[in-house]
Structure 1
């Protein structure tokens, strides 16, 4: 069988395949995808919207009216007239120095304990310092975050405690005596001490508890319980003051 050139020419030509396309179907599918993307975008915007709303401000922890009520309650208690504004301001400074760290202001100290408490307190008492507003600040310097409870429930006790703190400050100020007076006082204490306990250490321990010489064991226990609650670090008190109270109690009860 011979070679037919016609067969060669047909075999050498490339085979063409028929390509079909449905333009309308592709457009419809593209439109459906576009609508789905738009729907998902709207849902995503709804989910994001609450995050962009302005945050609602927390209510003030101490209001102006509350601070005024505390000041009026303190002014109606026995012993109020003996308190002096200047002495109360000095007491606030001294109590702040006793805390840790000692360089913080009352506002900074309270804000560390409860976020915003010190700021709200200073705003509530106002910019003009009065004896009533200063006494409220002194109560917070003395009791810490629990001051509002004392001011609400026992303003009489608050005035008494402020009186006691001021008396102790005055006693320390008057304690800067001449060397001659100091020697006479030390000699008198030496004559009165008992054989088994140094008089000076007992007097110092009593002063820490706010008691005078001759205080009974029951009075010492009551003072210790009261001061431990006030100065406990978990209740916003000073760790250093808490330690001194416990050491004084142990020394007296040993």
Structure 2
């Protein structure tokens, strides 16, 4: 049912074509063009629906890939690589005082630093993994099972500086060797001795670390690890400690969705440093 303008002329056969108004012919012509365009649009819609159906069938018939076996899935990069350990060890070996260090003393120093940390029952890998997830695991994997003096020195640096060890190893290997020598002297004298001015950089002589170097080694070790927990270096000011603490509290507070264990470590580190 309905009126087709194309039949307009036939419905009025009684009228003379000469008497038909000109505008009627224009309307009929325009309507026919619209109908032809409408038919073309319908055909295009049908074609698109058919194409969409084919794509759906191809998708559901495609075999699903196991995400665990997908080679395109990127694995997180290691925090420490064997190449880095090699470069750090070679750099340390070029510094003054390297010959004084002994592999056995360095390995004993690592055990001593672990025992004087927040969690004395943990080994170096476990300590570092608690501070920065995966750091200790990656470090021990990069070092490998074969023990050398260079590798022992790198491990001792991480035991001493924590998460900041890579920065010290890359930026100031001479300072690392000097600190390890100082720790070795502490061991040889039963924890006694004091840090000499020749072991320090001139820019470090006015820092808090010089004063702390005269105290018991275990106390300084705990302060170093506390600084690492807050992401700070040795000699950080109280203002920097407070600023880092406030920032980390906002990130790790349990009421804001953070880890209770991480929040506890941050709070313990802050309390130790402020007292």
- Tell whether the structures are fold-level matches, with TM greater than 0.5: yes
Q: How does 1:65-84 map to 2 (within 5 A)?
A: 65-84=83-102
Return the match for 2:210 from 223, 241, 244. 223
Q: Is 1:88 the counterpart of 2:106 in the alignment?
A: yes
Question: What are the residue-to-residue correspondences of 1:164-243 with 2, within 5 Å?
Answer: 164-172=182-190, 221=208, 223=210, 231-232=226-227, 233-235=229-231
Which residue matches 1:118? 136
With normalisation by structure 2, the TM-score equals 0.51
Task: Answer yes or no: is the 8 Å Cα contact 1:111–1:119 preserved in 2.
Answer: yes
Structure with greater contact order relative to length (CA < 8 Å, sep ≥ 6): 1
User: Of the candidates 151, 154, 179, which is equivalent to residue 133 of structure 1?
Assistant: 151
Partner deviation per Cα, 1:196-254 (whole Å, 9 max, x = no partner):
xxxxxxxxxx96xx579xxxxx757452599767741312899888877765xxxxxxx
Moved more, 144-153 or 48-57: 48-57
Q: What per-residue deviation string (whole Å, max 9, x for no partner) do you get for residues 169-205 of structure 1?
A: 22226x7xxxxxxxxxxxxxxxxxxxxxxxxxxxxxx
In our comparison, the structure showing a higher alpha carbon Rg is: 1
Counterpart residue number, 1:193: none
Query: Residues 224 and 245 of structure 1 are in contact (CA less than 8 Å); yes or no, is this contact kept in structure 2?
Result: no
Which ranges of 4 or more aligned residues in structure 1 deviate by more than 3 Å? 36-46, 48-55, 218-222, 224-231, 236-247
- Structure 2 vs 1, CA of residues 146 and 171 (structure 1 numbering), >3 Å: closer, same or farther? same
Aligned equivalent of 1:108, options 89, 101, 126: 126
Distance 2:270 2:188 in 1: 22
Alignment: residue pair count: 177
